[in-house]
């Protein structure tokens, strides 16, 4: 049996369409009064479908705005915990309304691992974390967001990084849909002493 092809999504400008629908009642009133309906008014009520690039661009802007807000929040917790701001995003090729945003990168000491480099991400969807090219395995409608951090190390390809699968749970340091739990996890990774970690665990 041949595999079922992935659904092809179509996107339209919902804001412009709703605005046009509000104007449509005015055009209909004019038609009842004059018996004339301008073609221009008819066209304005039609849906304008967006290209995947337009959808991806809009998604990217939203993701990076959310990433900036998240970075400000974690950096505002305590003056001794400061993370660099490194915001960039990627959208899913076949579903450009979905994507993820890199927020920050840092290093920490973990049991049996010293000076672990890691990156923190957020996404506007939830999925299990897979391996290899299928990093996002099975997107779930159960939750609308996801936060995760992965250990990273230099790859054989010059100038690239890859997930360090020897650290954590196959490279994953934490993975959650809960923003409070995500903030706590990031702060624990950034805390440099046990007293501060005790405070963070109470939030």
- Average pLDDT per 10 consecutive residues for the chain, totaling 203 residues: 56 66 52 49 64 95 97 94 96 94 93 88 92 78 92 78 88 95 96 90 88
Is the residue at 2 inside a domain? no
Q: How many domains does the chain have?
A: 2
Q: Are residues 18 and 76 in the same domain?
A: no
Q: Are residues 85 and 21 in the same domain?
A: no
In this predicted structure, what is the pLDDT of residue 23?
52
Q: Are residues 117 and 81 in the same domain?
A: yes
CA Rg value for the chain: 23
Range of the domain at 36: 11-50
In this predicted structure, what is the pLDDT of residue 144?
92
Q: Are residues 57 and 124 in the same domain?
A: yes
Query: What sign has the CA pseudo-torsion 39, 45, 49, 53?
Result: positive
Query: How many angstroms separate the most distant Cα atoms in the chain?
Result: 81
Q: Which two tokens stand for residue 2?
A: 């041949």
Q: Are residues 177 and 80 in the same domain?
A: yes
Q: Are residues 46 and 63 in the same domain?
A: no
Q: Which two tokens stand for residue 3?
A: 């595999």
41 Cβ neighbours under 8 A, 6+ residues apart: 23, 24, 27
Q: Are residues 79 and 170 in the same domain?
A: yes
In this predicted structure, what is the pLDDT of residue 46?
64
Is the residue at 3 inside a domain? no
Q: Which two tokens stand for residue 133?
A: 């090219």
């Amino acid at each position: 049996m041949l595999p079922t092809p992935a659904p092809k999504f179509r996107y339209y400008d919902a804001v412009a369409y709703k605005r046009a629908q509000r104007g449509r009642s005015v055009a209909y009133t004019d038609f009842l009064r004059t018996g004339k309906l301008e073609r221009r008014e008819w066209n304005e009520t039609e849906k304008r479908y967006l290209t995947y690039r337009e959808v991806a661009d809009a998604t990217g802007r939203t993701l990076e705005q959310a990433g900036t807000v998240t970075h400000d929040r974690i950096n505002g917790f305590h003056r001794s915990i400061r993370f660099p701001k490194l915001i960039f995003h990627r959208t899913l090729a076949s579903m450009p309304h979905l994507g993820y945003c890199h927020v920050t990168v840092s290093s920490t000491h973990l049991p049996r691992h010293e000076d672990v480099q890691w990156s923190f991400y957020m996404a506007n969807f939830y999925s299990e974390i897979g391996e290899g090219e299928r990093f996002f395995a099975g997107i779930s409608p159960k939750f609308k967001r996801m936060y995760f951090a992965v250990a990273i190390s230099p790859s054989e390809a010059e100038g690239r990084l890859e997930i360090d699968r020897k650290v954590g749970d196959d490279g994953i340091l934490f993975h959650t849909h809960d923003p409070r739990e995500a903030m706590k996890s990031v702060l624990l990774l950034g805390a440099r002493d046990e007293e501060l970690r005790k405070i963070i665990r109470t939030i």
